[in-house]
Every structure is written in C-alpha cells, then in structure tokens.
Homo-oligomer: A and B are copies of this chain.
Amino acid sequence: MGRLFATYDLETPTTLERAAEVIAGEQSSGTFLKLPGETDRLKELSGARVERVTATSSSRVPSLPCRISAETYTRGEVVLSWPLENMGTSLPNVLATVAGNLFELADVSALRLTDISFPEEFAVAYPGPAYGRQGTLALAGVRDRPMIGTIIKPSVGLSPAETASLVAKLADGGIDFIKDDELQANGPHCPFEDRLNEVMKVINSHADRTGRKVMYAFNITDELDVMRRNADLLQQAGGTCAMVSLFSLGLTGLSAIRRHIDLPLHCHRNGWGIYSRSPDIGISFPVWQKFWRLAGADHLHVNGIANKFTEADTTVIENARSLDDPLSGERGYQAMPVFSSGQTAVQMEETCRAVGHTDFIYCAGGGIMGHPGGVAGGVASLKQAAEAAVGGIPAHVFAKDHKELSEALDLFGKKDGTGARK
C-alpha cells in the first residue's frame, strides 16, 4: 500500500527536527512516555516518518501564544508521511491524522497544513466529481467560454414567488447559472420545496421556449435525511444542480450526498476565513480542495480577483489553479472553480488569463443587478467581457463597439481593463 504525505508550514520554540518528530510521534505510535508495546518493529510498520525539514526564517517572538519560551523561534517547511495501513482509504480518518491534535502542541508556535498527497488507492475508494468541468458545461449547454452566473439577492427575505420572478428576469436576460445564497436554506420565510417548485416552473418553461435550461444551484444544506429528500425532489422537478455548504456538512456529509444524488454539487466554502485568514494557523485551500474533489465536489468557490474580502489576487488564482493538481490515480477529478465576491465585467479578462482555461463559473451579484442596462445589460456585459478575453482582445478595445461592456467598465472599473476595487 502507498503512503500519505503532508506538508506543513511550522514555527517552533525548539528545533524543526524535534518539532517534526513530536508531530510524527503524536500522530502515529508515540506518546509522552516510552511504552512497553512501542517496539522498534511497530514503529517501523506504523510510525509516521519525517521526510524533509527545511528552515525558512526565524523570529525573536512566537507567532502564536506558546507555553514553551525560547530565544529564537524557527520557521520552516516540514514533510511527513504515514503508512496507509494505519487509517485506510477513509477521508474522515485521514483528516484526523494529518490535521488532528497537532495545532495545540506546545512544540509549535505556528502551524499550517499546506499540502497533501494521496496515494492511488484513494482513486479506487472515492468516485470524485460526477460531472466536473465538462459534465457541467454540457449540462448547462455552454461551450468554449465561462459560465455567467449570479446569486439571488437579497440573500434572504424573498418569498418563493419573488425568487421565481427574479429568476424569470435573469433567465430572460440570458444568464447561464443562478445560485441560492448560502444563507438561503429551508426556513419558514422561503421553504425549500416551495422555492424549488416556483423556480423550476420558470426555468422549465424558459427551457421549453428557448431550448436552454438555466442551471440553478438550490441550497440543499441540511441534516442528511432532509438533504436526501430535498435532493430527490430537486431531481424530480428537473433541477440540474445542488448546492452545499462544505463546513456545515463535513466530509461524511459531502460523501453521503455525492453517493445519493446524480447532479453536479456546487460547493460553498463559507467559514473559509477560519482556515485561511491567519498566516500562522489553518489549512490551505490546495489541501482542502483535494479532500473535496475526492469526496465528489463538482464546483468549488475560490473567491475572485479584486474581491471584497481580504484574500490576495495571487492566492485566489493559485487556489483556482490548484483544482488542476493531480490527485491519486490516473483520473483527473477536475472540479470547476467558481469566482464570486464583488465580481463585475472588469475582472473577467484578468481571470481568464490567470486561470489558463475558461471552464469556470463567474458569479456577479451587484455586477449584474447594478448595471445601468438592468439584468440583461449586466449579463450582456459579462458575456462580452468573456468573448473579448477568449478572443484575446483587450476589454477596453472590445468595449468600443459593445455598449454593455463599455457601461460596465465605466461604472465598475477603469476603461484600461485593470480591476478596481469597489
């Protein structure tokens, strides 16, 4: 059987070598006293191994409060590996191994899990995304350009009928993709089943008229029994996408719904800042996305260029590109990046260039609703921006004879096509 590899960005009041050994011990066969059963043979078979230790910097003060004080706190990259025999091909148990009782250790004053590598056995155990990029594009009838999407706003408070009437406007405006806000769940204001029925009436009738079915990601996030029932209703109503909040479901919830539903899973990472905001604690996106792709995520939110949050553009793009990282085995398990958060026509050019392909979903809220030409104008501006990007024409040049794009660049950014924050 293969081995599992994990990479950490670690700071320690002792030495990197010692801290790496402590983690390897804690997370496999060790404890704070030498035990009778911990033979050399057992350690050889079951122990985690320190594969590599590379110092990167040092500091006089610890990055996080730490019980052990020292003159110098050393930072570096540490790679550990585990025999798969310990935890088997079970993602929930892999998580407990690589991201378990490590972050509290007195031997570390900062710890981030930055990469993971799954041996090929996981490709047998986990199906990966059912639709991924190509399946989603085919289902939505979109070719050779990004899917243009939006989020129902206000996020909460609209009735099912009000939601459906907004969907009708968006469908008529030419949108490819619509999603519930992650706050819109199954509350009494707007119950799931009523919203589903009202919205699908509009979408199905629009599809009958035009031959194009708008993909709507209904938020099914809930307890598993409810989620399964709502997923069934969704499929019966002709829906083509289900949305889930990843951290609310957990890995077992994500796997369970992947095995139940035959539709793309639109995966929202709300709560993400807990893992990403501090440079000194957490789990990086390139790690989480591998867990999620194995478990079956089709679409993964990655924020957006010039977003309204704090994530840097370089991180956003690295994260989107990490969805191409090889997973275990030969199958690609490619998931679709979803750009969202303060997106308008302004960032389309840079997004296409930076991602390196156009198989992504580009969600704009205010960037569509706030367009002077209304919904249709907003959608048109985004499609024009995409067309310019795909054709290699600078947005401000293309805008010269494309009114909606021109209006969007005027309102949301600068005519030279560089992104400007709201």
Cβ of A202 within 8 Å of any chain B Cβ, yes or no, is no
Q: Quick one: given A33-B370, A88-B187, A187-B86, are A101 and B154 in contact (CB under 8 Å)?
A: no
Across the interface, name the chain B residue whose C-beta is closest to A370.
B33
| A252 interface contact, C-beta 8 A | yes
Among the listed B33, B95, B100, B166, which residue makes an inter-chain contact with A369, where contact means beta carbons less than 8 Å apart?
Answer: B33
Contact B369 A309 (CB under 8 A): no
- The distance in angstroms between the C-alpha atoms of A281 and B111, with both chains bound, is 14
A158 to B36, CA, bound (A): 12
Judge whether A137 is part of the interface by a CB distance below 8 angstroms.
no
Residues on B with beta carbons closer than 8 Å to the beta carbon of A99: 247, 271, 274
Residue in chain B with minimal CB distance to A27: B183
Q: 1/0 per position for A15-47, CB-CB distance to B under 8 A?
A: 000000000000111111101111000110111
B271 touches A154 (CB 8 A): no
Interface SS majority for chain A: loop
- Chain B's closest residue to A412 (CB) is B33
Interface flag for A373 (CB, 8 Å) = no
A100-B271 CB under 8 A given contacts A86-B183, A166-B37, A222-B93: yes
Query: Among residues 370 to 421 in chain A, which have CB atoms less than 8 Å away from a CB atom of chain B?
Result: 370
- Residues facing B in A69-121 (CB within 8 A) are 83-88, 90-93, 95-97, 99-106, 111
A186 CB-CB contact with B under 8 Å: yes
- Does A342 count as interface, using CB distance less than 8 angstroms? yes
Cα distance A66–B92 in the bound complex, in angstroms: 33
